[in-house]
Amino acid sequence: MAGVTAHGASFAFSSSGISSFVAAVVGVSVETPTAEVVDMSGVGDLPGYIVAVPTGDWSGGSITVDYLRTAATQDPQGLVRKTGLLAFASQGFSYSRRVICESASTEARSGELVRGSLRFRITDYTGT
């Protein structure tokens, strides 16, 4: 069975009030939202007896994008606190979600390419 590769991948974050942030992506990590679970174990249940019940809701979820900085890359700090659409695509695979940009970082080391990282929180919020 053939797998999907991220060769030739593209990434963009679009939010109102900013031009689309496009970068040379080197990695994307997605942690999907987790199920909300409540403990419904009763007082009369045997010790160690666990009754975990899904509520049907979920929470959390994050996306981390690692990219290479270029002279044309805008300052990523302006993205923090913005909501918008994150889109990632490569041959045979695409992913897009509404997100809030939580943080941005830049790493520069002598003799190496300057790298950046953006962390997003998945949301259903559609406001500005």
Taking only the tens place, the pLDDT of each residue in 29-42 is 999 999 999 999 99
pLDDT at 72: 82
* Count of domains for the chain: 1
- Residue at 27 is within a domain: yes
C-beta separation of 115 from 60 below 8 A: no
Residue type at 115? R
Phi first, then psi: what are they for 79, rounded to 5°?
-85, -25
**Domain hosting residue 22, numbered range:** 10-34+59-122
Question: Which segments of the chain have a pLDDT < 50?
Answer: none
Say what the pTM is. 0.81
- Residue at 102 is within a domain: yes
- Residue at 90 is within a domain: yes
| Alpha carbons 93 and 9: distance in angstroms, whole number | 9
Kindly report the CA angle at 64 between 59 and 69, in degrees rounded to 5? 155
Place of tokens 């994150």: 86
